[in-house]
Chains A and B, each alone.
Chain A
Amino acid sequence: MARSKSKRLVDLLTLLLSARYAVSRASIRKLEGYPRGEEAFHRQFERDKAALRELGFPIIEVGDEERDAGYLLERARLKLPDVRLSPEETVALALARRIGGLHSLVGGNVRQALGKLGLIGMAPDSTAGVVAVAPPARAKGEEDRLRLIEGAIARSQRVNLRYRKLGADEVSERAVDPYGLYVHGGGWYLVGHDHLRKATRTFRTSRIEKIARATRGAAADFAAPKDFRIEDYVERMLWGGWKGVKGDVVVRFEPSDAWRIERLAGARIAVKRAADGALLVRFQRANPDSLLAWVATLGRGVTIVEPAALRAEARRSFERVVRAHAGKPR
């Protein structure tokens, strides 16, 4: 099924790319795989045209009342003018393919771009030292889901989704205006206006059980906030104040872990050195939940100092671990 569709589309492209003049409907009907009947042919051809346009092929229709309709590829919108890339740039694009390929969505898009540019098959040896190892099992359907979301973001089109919230057993149906998409720690997240909650919400894409466009046609369904930048939004949500909490958090890094501080990015920290050589780092307007989860991954050299409530919460959390592991398993 899919194979015969692919063959028909390749044949159609071969015909359109090799034609100097508009191709008549009659010549297109001679391609293998098109149904005989006029009506069935018409429907199939319309679908194929739409599929190819989506892939970036500018098929235009020419003709008038005197002559039958003909089709051609608009050259100026088809071809990419010559680009002269330096060897370093070619190497860098090959690297982009390798590291992009480790992530759903990115890899496919980069590969397609390089394929169109004719940069597949030119792998220079200079990146031979870098090997990319993809995760062994990739959730099926994730790539398709992400492509659909990305397309909806690009064209400002509403989506309907069936979402299973973590920790909740019920599944909810929501209409979402997708604003953006981000990857964090191996998972992808959709950010958009949730019509159910009437607010901007974040959805982990792997928890989306079903997704489809809410409308048909190519028109935009909504206008996203004009200067929306996904990184700014996530920065506010993940590390900035959240759930109404906007206090500072002070974290103590023992001398053994002082090296971690050199790597902390962002202007939102202030560092003070304690008498014993430890570093006291103040995270301004931090999100306590994220910070607590993060500190727990850093080990024995990093502790929360302030606020007292968060410090107590960290301690309780570790005490629960001790209790869970006391004695023999029940």
Chain B
Amino acid sequence: MAHAPEHIPRLLALVRALVSAKRLPLTQLAEELDVTEAELRADIELLSLCGLPPYGPDNLIDIQVGKDGLVRLSNRVLAPPPLQLTDEEAAGLRLALKLAEAQGWPESRALASAIRKLEHVLLPERREGARRLARRVGVVVDPDDAAGERWLALVQRAIAACASVDMTYYSDGREARTERRVDPYRLVATEHARYLIAFCHLRQAVLTFRLDRILRAKQTAVRFTPPAELEPRDYLGDAPKDAANMVAVTVKFAPSVGRMALESYPAAKATADGGALLKARVWATFAFCRQIVAWGGGAEVLEPAGVREMVRKYARELVTRYEER
């Protein structure tokens, strides 16, 4: 559980949400407050014990979860008004704006104007403090990601309209570009990249596409019916639906890069010589080869032999490029 000072804003946010909405689904509140349902239930139980002396029914916060999964607030023992933000909270909004702009979200403009409005009503010293802090906390984007995702808006519109999209896509795994038609289902943001989950007419399967690898896209007049249910984790992450096609690899890291390997791969284990050993399931693609090559000889694929040979060939080809001319 969060320790008390950060716990308080969450408890107040919960009460505040219910003061205006009266009742809200437990699942939605858990998602928006970024807690598990069990943690949220614990919060609700705690709040129901809070109030004023003599702590009778009229003095306690009347909050509970119904059998219908709705959280209800039935009195106003605690009814916080909209509250002034701290420097950190206001700066957090600006930092989110930096992220949104760096990633090319079309909502960035509306976000910027919302932040302007909010900062306008902040206490002058908080406004100044937030802006000063926002200049000191930043987001750094690699050069080729910087102007990255110009197709974000188009993809969002196509998802909303259930319209098929014709696109040119650069496959990192195959290092090749292809033309294909896709039915865009879902946009997924992770810590590192934005992805489109879509039905691909070329491969006749639901696939994941990195948005910054879409080189060109055009919405078509063709409409599709989206699937009723779609679980993003089936397509992204460590255990996707088609994990059967992944390959179990063992990678050895030299002592010189051992610590860095442990930092890069949480699943890696330290070895006695100061190096590291990674056993993982990966897609045996050129993208994996590049990952190994980037260690400059500090990483060695031990098995399977096929992947080891693929990495060797790939690196050999890179050397050839440097022998030419």
Residue in contact with A315 in the complex, picked from B82, B260, B303, B322, CB distance below 8 Å: B322
Beta-carbon contact of B189 and A300 below 8 Å: no
The answer on a CB contact under 8 Å between A264 and B4 is no
- Those of B113-172 within 8 Å (CB) of chain A: 113-114, 117-118, 120-123, 129, 132-133, 135-148, 156, 159-160, 170
Q: Is the CB of A228 within 8 A of B135?
A: yes
Do B96 and A131 touch (CB < 8 A)? no
- Within the complex, the shortest CB–CB distance from B277 to chain A, in Å, comes to 12
B50→A180 contact, CB < 8 A: no
How far is A132 from B123 in the complex, measured between Cα atoms in Å?
Answer: 33
Main secondary structure of the interface of B (DSSP, over half): helix
The answer to whether A130 and B187 touch (CB under 8 A), given A56-B83, A78-B84, A325-B315, is yes
A-B contact count, CB below 8 Å? 423
Contact digits for B93-127, partner A, Cβ 8 Å, 1 yes 0 no:
10111011001010111110110011011110000
Decide: B17 and A121 in contact? CB cutoff 8 A. Answer: yes
Q: For chain B residues 69-104, which have a beta carbon within 8 Å of chain A?
A: 77-93, 95-97, 99-100, 103
Tell me which residues from 70 to 110 in chain A have a Cβ below 8 Å from any Cβ of chain B. Answer: 77-86, 88-93, 95-103, 105-110
Q: Is B227 at the interface (CB under 8 A from chain A)?
A: no
- Nearest chain A CB to B89 CB, angstrom units: 4
Q: How many residues of A contact B (CB 8 A)?
A: 133
Question: Residue B292 at the A interface, CB < 8 A?
Answer: yes
Contacts of B301 in A (CB 8 A): 325
CA distance A315 to B118 in the complex (A): 53
Do A2 and B133 touch (CB < 8 A)?
Answer: no
**B293 at interface, CB cutoff 8 A:** yes
B184-215: CB near A (< 8 Å → 1, else 0) gives 00111111100000000000000000001001
Interface residues of B in 39-60 (CB under 8 A from A): 46-47, 49-53, 55
Known: A123-B28, A137-B266. A300 touches B318 (CB 8 A): yes
Whether a CB of chain A sits under 8 angstroms from the CB of B241 is no
| B20 on the A face (CB < 8 A) | yes
* A248–B4 CA distance with the chains assembled, in angstroms: 52
**With the chains together, A106 CA to B117 CA distance in Å?**
20
Is B95 in contact with A106, judged by CB distance below 8 angstroms?
yes
A13-B78, A98-B189, A99-B189 are known contacts. Are A85 and B319 too (CB-CB below 8 A)? no
The reply to whether B308 and A129 form a contact with Cβ atoms under 8 Å apart is no
Contacts of A314 in B (CB 8 A): 322
Cα distance, A110 to B136, chains bound together (Å): 17
CB contacts (< 8 Å) of A293 on chain B: these are 294
Interface pair A329/B300, CB less than 8 Å apart = yes
Write the chain A residue with the least CB distance to B108: A92
B256 to chain A, nearest CB (A): 7
Known: A111-B13, A118-B20, A180-B136. A95 touches B107 (CB 8 A): yes
Chain A residues closer than 8 Å to B89, beta-carbon distance: 56, 109-110, 112-113, 116
A92 contacts B107, CB within 8 Å? yes
Docked-complex contact A326 and B91, CB < 8 angstroms: no
Is the CB of A215 closer than 8 A to any CB of chain B? no
Does residue B222 face the partner (Cβ distance < 8 Å to A)? no
Residues of A contacting B323 in the complex (Cβ-Cβ under 8 angstroms): 315
Inter-chain CA distance A153–B114, complex, in Å, is: 25
Decide if B236 is an interface residue (CB 8 Å cutoff): yes
B279 within 8 Å of A (CB atoms): no
Check if A37 is an interface residue, CB within 8 A of chain B: no
* Chain A residues closer than 8 Å to B117, beta-carbon distance: 83-85, 89
Q: Is the CB of B321 within 8 A of A186?
A: no
Is there a chain B Cβ closer than 8 Å to A209's Cβ?
Answer: no
Q: Chain A residues near B312 (CB, 8 Å)?
A: 321-322, 325-326
Asked whether B136 lies within 8 Å of A179 as measured between CB atoms, the reply is: yes
B280 within 8 A of A: no
B179 contacts which chain A residues (CB < 8 A)? none
A153, B299: Cα distance in complex, Å: 38
Tell me the nearest residue of chain B to A314, going by C-beta.
B322
In order of increasing CB-CB distance, the 7 nearest A-B pairs are: A115-B13, A109-B92, A320-B297, A265-B146, A121-B17, A230-B138, A325-B312
Q: What are 14 pairs between A and B in contact, CB < 8 Å?
A: A14-B61, A56-B85, A86-B110, A92-B110, A106-B96, A118-B16, A122-B20, A123-B28, A123-B31, A154-B133, A183-B138, A224-B136, A266-B143, A321-B297
In the complex, given contacts A55-B9, A103-B191, A133-B237, what are 17 additional A-B residue pairs having Cβ atoms less than 8 angstroms apart? A10-B12, A51-B8, A55-B86, A80-B122, A83-B82, A89-B111, A96-B100, A99-B99, A103-B99, A108-B92, A147-B6, A150-B88, A153-B133, A182-B138, A224-B136, A294-B144, A296-B290
